[in-house]
Amino acid sequence: MSNPLSRAIRIDQHGGSEELKLVQVAVGDPGPGEIRIRHHAVGLNFIDVYQRSGLYPFAMPLQLGMEAAGVVEAVGAGVTHLQAGDRAAYASNPPGAYCNVRVMPAKCVCKLPDAISFETGAAMMLKGLTAQYLLKKTLPQGGLQSGDFVLFHAAAGGVGLIACQWAKALGLHLIATAGSEEKCALALAHGAQHAINYRAEDFAARVKEITDGKGVKVVYDSVGKDTWDKSLDCLAPFGLMASFGNASGPVAPFAPGILGAKGSIYVTRQTLFTHIATRESTQAMADELFEVVGSGKVKIRIDQRYRLEDVQQAHKDLEARQTTGCTILTL
> Do 206 and 301 fall into the same domain?
no
114 and 16 both lie in a single domain: yes
In this prediction, residue 103 has a pLDDT band, given cuts at 50, 70 and 90, of very high
Measure Cα distances from 52 to 40, 61, 123, 182, 248 in Å. Answer: 23, 11, 20, 29, 15
Where are the alpha helices (H) located in the chain, listed in sequence order?
46-53, 118-137, 158-169, 181-189, 203-210, 228-233, 257-261, 272-275, 279-294, 311-319
What is the CB-side half-sphere exposure of residue 301 using CA atoms within 13 A?
A: 21
| One domain for residues 11 and 119 | yes
On whether residue 133 sits in a domain, the answer given is no
> Cα–Cα distance between 14 and 246 in angstroms, integer?
17
- Give the CATH number for residue 299: 3.90.180.10
Which one-letter DSSP state was computed for residue 57? -
pTM: 0.95
What are the tens digits of pLDDT across the range 188-239? 999 999 999 999 999 999 999 999 999 999 999 999 999 999 999 999 999 9
3: confidence class by pLDDT, cuts 50, 70, 90: confident
Domain of residue 154, residue span: 139-269
Do 177 and 85 share a domain, yes or no? no
Question: What CATH number did the domain enclosing 203 receive?
Answer: 3.40.50.720
Residues 145 and 260 in one domain: yes
Overall domain count for the chain: 2
Both 119 and 162 in a single domain?
Answer: no
Q: What percent of the chain has pLDDT over 70?
A: 99
Q: In what order do the strands lie in the sheet with 266-269?
A: 194-197, 173-178, 149-152, 216-221, 235-243, 266-269
The per-residue pLDDT for 2 is 62
